[in-house]
Structure 1
Amino acid sequence: EVVRIINEPTAASLAYGLDKSGEHKVMVFDLGGGTLDVTILEFGEGIFEVKSTSGDTQLGGTDMDAAIIDWIVEEFKKQEGIDLKKDTMATQRVREAAEKAKIELSNVLSTDINLPYITVDQAGSGPKHLSLNMTRAKLESLIAPIVQRCVHPMEQAMKDAKMKKDDIKKIILVGGPTRMPVIQKFVEDFIGADKVAKGVDPMECVATGASIQGGVLAGDVKDLLLLDVTPLTLGIETLGSVATPLITRNSTIPTKKSQMFSTAADSQTAVTIHVIQGERPMANDNTSLGMFNLVGIPPAPRGVPQIEVTFDIDANGILNVTAKDHGTGKEQKITISATTKLSKDQIDKMVKEAEKFSDEDKKKKEEVEARNTADSLVYTTEKTLADLKDKITPEQKEKIEPALKALKDAVSGKDTEKIKQESENLSKAIQEIGASIYQQPGAQAGAGAGPAPGFDGGADSASESTEEGASEHRKHKKKGKGGKEDAIDAEYKVEDEKK
């Protein structure tokens, strides 16, 4: 019976920290056969909190074995003129010998590699024997490039945790390769010799930590709380396939986040919530976790309905997503248990892809958001002209209509900068009209006829998702033509803009 799943670095930290007093910021350096995982945790008074995780899924002891194998094969080729890699059985024997030599050189300065009858000379001179001596210095020179690759994951983990080397009080070594003197020296040089924990067995601390967590769940261990983190960002798809995050990567779980959204079309009676996971700014480039519909929304102008979307993720990584219409009280929900089922390889691949395509994604997102803003501005302007037609002078109308047409023409094209410029021009024009309307007698009554000119109509939401104090527009849609059908429009406004 599986009661709780915890990752290896967290388990190692449990084994290390149980009998420690005071507060600690610890880095767990977990170098295994095929992967490197670097985790930073903060713990004290029985509470363990994962601050960040990073790693390399193509870095480990097998890479070191491969470097030794290449050296053995090359040396034998120099001696006998035979390439052992062409012989499958010989290659397997060399691989086993390479791993054995690597382990032995953790305790001795040199070792002999002897493989009798490794192959047969095709010229008929009989069987060949492999006999080489390998020193620890030679091993360290062969794997130096591999060891150097450990730097980036360690730096990335500290960056994600917003910490510096001086903030790390201890570093725990986990995994067989960390028994190698060259790895221990590398870690000591990087983080400080006095910070490396010596009392934890790299091969046993994970199992020990898992046992401790089992004791917590069984009630045998008291006053210990384990807080893990989300491996990837969780959010929803918004208008134009933009990914709107609700719970960001490396957020401590359990956690709960809510955000207010609204409709993107007049008389819209249903919305589709598409839950996604990943670091890319465009929803289509992320992993789809599921979707559901919220129906029965009373017909109203776009932006008026208030729909609260809540993400609630528990300690086991199970995500509950709820969408509630505040007008009717109707709600729908979905439970997703696969948020932590991605392998370490998949998670790291998604993070690296986000970094690789960051410039391209940023450009694409800017284009979509520019179009979203322009579309909202066109809607607001047309509604303002209709609602306040008695208060707008012919001169003002002649000034705003060309700007409105210019923006519509720009949206039909592909020039993002043109869309931004025309949006700014129209925004200025309609704000001038709004200012003049408020100066007219009876402006108070007129203002109540519709949204204030220059601002989008919509949910006067209490969302906390303001970005640098700026008004931000995000819209959620079901994938459809033009992004108009089955969409919800998230609108965030700062208080100063509402006054």
Structure 2
Amino acid sequence: MAKVSINLATGSLQKEEIIVGIDLGTTNSLVAFINPDKNPQVINDAGKGVLVPSVVHFDQTGGITVGNEAKNYLITDPQNTIFSVKRLLGRSYADIENYKNLFSYKVIDDNTESLVKVKVGDRFYTPIELSGLILKELKERAEHALKTPVTRAVITVPAYFNDSQRQATRDAGKLAGLDVLRIVNEPTAASLAYGIGLNQEETKTIAVYDLGGGTFDVSILQIQNGIFEVLSTNGDTFLGGDDFDRAIFEYWVQQNNLNAAELAENRELTQELRLKAEEAKKSFSHQSIFNEKVGDIWCTIDRDTFEQLILAKVEQTINACTNALKDAGLTVEQIDEVVMVGGSTRTALVKRKVAEFFKRPVHDDINPDEVVALGAAIQADILAGNRKDILLLDVTALSLGIETMGGLMDVIIPRNSKVPTKAGRQYTTSVDGQVNMKISVYQGERDLVKENRKLAEFDLKGIPAMPAGLPKVDINFLLNADGILKVQAIELRSNTKQEVEVKPAYGITDEQVEQMLMDSITYAQDDVQQRMLIEARTEGEQMVYTAERFLEKNNAYLSIPEITETQKYIQALKDSLTSGDKDLILKKVDELNDYTRPFAERVMDMAISQAMKGKSIE
């Protein structure tokens, strides 16, 4: 096994190895590194281009294509082509229910609280697996271009990503064979690319305006002593350059009196017109009129018309800036710098409107597609210890978390988190009437707790007896500057509370830390596959429990065939639980769900109408 040099003070690598910066985007992703001249540089492998479309295609034989080639299948094979997976990371079905029609592939509605899955043929993929495939492609391109193994990375996420979404991004990196040293906010990375925040003495308040292909967000950051604090964030996760293209496309449909219904049937013509619209939009950076043809259709538009068409959308982004300032409790005059991020900020109207609103020139010298990845590479360079002028704060050398169902490790404080820090997650019970919850605290990087180091265990007693899923238990980790970890569990409905203190670093040597980090990389693939099987099994067991309880309580409202068939589906699911095949288990969960949903809804409707009449029904 190759020995990797790890800096124990930071839990990160010594400078011999390249650590890359990755911008994992909704539309496109890219990877950057610090070149021998000590400057950040994006990677363009074998002339394929800097931007790697965040698209994954699965063919009939199980072959997987990622990036440029996969993008071509969006039209020809949409149900097997996954895009915008970043929108699904760390999300439950309830989070994305309103947007499900925007996806051409099948997003599984298994349970409103469960994390979403994507079905392709007979296989089920989590957003973590799909993001892992994109990150793997970026890793391979970086290795090919740099002619060296790449195993360490800094990955960026939007400032508004919650803990679950950040952990999902880390897991995706792990699945791709990357040790994710730090998850960095995209606006922080963009600021670093412009050198803002590198001076420890500097105190600044900045606005980062990020308009991509499909998403928009604005973040207000305060930078003090090299620490970036997000004061507020605002935006629209379904607004971007795609809307500008659509506006031109719809204008041409109108100008040429095209039949919208016929056009919808002709997907190839629609795609040609959309691509031509994107071309027109880009042309306005160097010309004022666009005049070309697609077949017999004239595609003519001038810059002034284009700006009128998109004005309302641009105003929407300015309203978001107003709201972000209001949330931060600041005025426009208190903003010191404005940084532009995302390809759509190249639009002249956008630049003008943002500069007018903030009453100052904007930073747009660095390619807005690349600025986040370049900043991530700078952050990676800081973590590698190559920038002596920047003080790296104390960080946790190993992840801290708790044991969840199936013996899995759920990370609460990821390794490399700055100290002091606090973080928390919410959990619930898995069995009706459960009044105690065992909380086991672990340290380590592996997915199964048995491979990690146990730090403490305690019982949260006195949880009110309620149906499974109703109690809400907050588990909070507070790690102070002296390395003392306080773990606190609170049941919110009854305010039942319990806590314990431990010292994670006690009795563990530098060599053991190094070995634990090495093992986490070596066994990453096996760990993730085991985790996914355990999660599928746990989900299957929960589904069996719920379905059996449903039959028991509501058999008076179901027909004999409905009961018999449901029992068959439950048995098929039970049989699959011992198979060791996660896709088979999830398929059986899906089938039971699909079969029972219509009459489960019927019973629910009856319950509501009975309740309205003052009668009770379980």
Superposition TM-score, scaled by structure 2 size: 0.38
Which has the higher relative contact order, 1 or 2, with Cα contacts under 8 A spaced 6 or more apart?
1
Rg larger in 1 or in 2?
A: 1
The two structures have a TM-score, normalised by structure 1, of 0.47
